[in-house]
Structure 1
């Protein structure tokens, strides 16, 4: 049978379906508010995606920003973790201490670490195991001790201590912390310099520093606790 014989029926069926849809739309027209909300929602999603894509592109062009964001987030987190381990909770967390960790990590540690990573890459451009171990050893003899001393000194100043008190804090805490650091950082930094792309090296260190920062916070808080106990004892003796 000729297929064209069915064409008029198919056309009639299609016309009937279209007429039915038109009748339904006429009976239930789209709500203008709903159309407006849908349009705004799509527009907001597009704007959000555009902002995020531009931000990612910006951090790819400027890796130091990525490191600063990582440190400004991870260091206060590690501070809260350390306080939790010591028995504190949401009601009595030292939020100002967490803020100090965030500011110091984001505005000082991340930029200086990025500068060291860039400098070490220029001096030792290869990415083999021997070069990575060399960078890690040199770091523990140069940047590492300086960064640690700056941490104890800077955090003490941010707490309102005098310069002499800050120097005393460095004298008390530097060597015990450094002895742990030379066992902790060389292995992690060897992995960093050998396997991690340069643009991600500062964020990688920031993640590793969560554990390290918990230790530094513990050392810092331990000294404050000792000073408090000594002050209470002196008051009782007097």
Structure 2
């Protein structure tokens, strides 16, 4: 029933649906980071931090990922299906992942009122190494088995844990 409702929203307004879904799951990832990893307790939940994650997920990552996956689907098509998947993963990890991590850390720094350059120097390469340990395999499976309209959703589901890590990485002193 929920999947049918989601499918109908996705068919009518794909960008908006994926942006809202991403916003919710980015917020959930941050809450998971604060409650399960940092063990802050709900009274000490940093609501502004969660709000920043929701804003980034809904306004930046969701729309960007939706357009990016459409671009990959349209522009990277080789003779072999497996070569196409490998080329899409390579493009995703060398272009999108590297840029997105920089934009994420920089925008979080700006919203927090701190120095983006310092945040990038402190966290970028640690985050990128963690990204490359997880996401190439996830994206290979995503590009091989998941229809285009559901790829952002799959990334968002896997991102519950990833966003928990990103939120922790961003907030670590």
Give TM-score scaled by structure 1 length: 0.66
Alpha carbons 1:132, 1:194 under 8 Å: kept = yes
Equivalent residue for 2:95? 142
Equivalent residue for 1:128? 81
The alpha-carbon deviation at position 218 of structure 1 amounts to 1.2
Equivalent residue for 2:161? 211
The alpha-carbon deviation at position 222 of structure 1 amounts to 1.3
Equivalent residue for 1:45? none
Please list the CA deviations of residues 129-184 of structure 1 after superposition, one character each: whole Å capped at 9, or x if unmatched.
331122111111111100000000001111123xxx11210121101110111111
The alpha-carbon deviation at position 125 of structure 1 amounts to 4.2
* Structure 2 CA distance for aligned equivalents of residues 193 and 63 of structure 1: 18
Please list the CA deviations of residues 183-208 of structure 1 after superposition, one character each: whole Å capped at 9, or x if unmatched.
11000001111110111111111111
| Greater relative contact order (Cα < 8 A, sep 6+) | 2
Alpha carbons 1:66, 1:203 under 8 Å: kept = no
Alpha carbons 1:63, 1:200 under 8 Å: kept = no
Q: What is the alpha-carbon root mean square deviation over aligned residues?
A: 1.8
* 1:181 to 2:131 alignment: yes
* 1:81 to 2:52 alignment: no
* Structure 2 CA distance for aligned equivalents of residues 134 and 210 of structure 1: 26
Structure 2: runs of 5 or more not aligned: none
* 1:196 to 2:149 alignment: no
Equivalent residue for 2:17? 66
Equivalent residue for 1:36? none
The DSSP-based 3-state class of the residue aligned with 1:142 is helix
Give TM-score scaled by structure 2 length: 0.90
Please list the CA deviations of residues 91-147 of structure 1 after superposition, one character each: whole Å capped at 9, or x if unmatched.
111011111100110111011111110110111247933311221111111111000
Equivalent residue for 2:70? 118
The DSSP-based 3-state class of the residue aligned with 1:91 is helix
